[in-house]
Chains A and B, each alone.
Chain A
Amino acid sequence: AAGVIQSPRHLIKEKRETATLKCYPIPRHDTVYWYQQGPGQDPQFLISFYEKMQSDKGSIPDRFSAQQFSDYHSELNMSSLELGDSALYFCASSSQRGDETQYFGPGTRLLVL
């Protein structure tokens, strides 16, 4: 079965640079969620989209923005990167017409130097 796809899987950036993370949800899933997980931490909810509209917002810095496109893929844009942004970034998708279970992608490991 198709799973959530994230790219890139690994990313190394310098401080103050920008990064764009991409997420391709499971086919026919209409909702995308972004989570950030620091080393030894639990995943923290950042933002979610339903049918291309932002549906909820968590602890997402103002330096970050995200959107969901017409094909339901989503991009997380991160600017003015800081050392503390180094983390695993997971995208999850679900279907509001289904059981709403969130299925996670493999994650993007971002390292800011």
Chain B
Amino acid sequence: GQSLEQPSEVTAVEGAIVQINCTYQTSGFYGLSWYQQHDGGAPTFLSYNALDGLEETGRFSSFLSRSDSYGYLLLQELQMKDSASYFCAVAAAGNKLTFGGGTRVLVKP
């Protein structure tokens, strides 16, 4: 089976940097994805890492270390609109996603 661990909540101020860690245990692994979800909204794809290293997409970056079964999402120059839940998810055989419990990010002025 699959299990993913991420912090339940993070609070930061506008302009700050937040790092959300994700550790996983899987029986099969194709890659680590990150999704953003606002309350009542749909998960929105942010990034995907299949190989070790850092992927940068604007203010958001994602990192993966397969040997450590660990990844993180880095949110830079935080804005109020970044207040949302962030999920890491593992893609396994068949490409089905198993999600972590989600990290609620609260951005304060």
Q: Do these two chains really belong together in a complex?
A: yes
A42 in contact with B102 (CB, 8 Å): yes
A104 on interface, CB distance cutoff 8 Å: yes
Describe A's contact surface by its main secondary structure: strand
A90 touches B42 (CB 8 A): yes
Given the complex, which residues of A lie within 8 Å of B24, measured CB to CB?
none
B102 cross-chain contacts in A, Cβ below 8 A: 42
Closest to A46 in B: B96
Among A58, A100, A104, point to the contact of B44 (Cβ < 8 A).
Answer: A104
- Which residues on the A side are within 8 Å of B58 (C-beta)? none
Residue from B43, B45, B94, B96 in contact with A90 in the complex, judged by beta carbons closer than 8 Å: B43
22 contacts between A and B (CB under 8 A): A31-B95, A33-B95, A33-B96, A42-B100, A42-B101, A43-B97, A45-B96, A45-B97, A48-B95, A56-B93, A58-B96, A92-B43, A94-B95, A96-B95, A99-B48, A100-B95, A101-B33, A102-B33, A103-B45, A104-B44, A106-B41, A107-B42
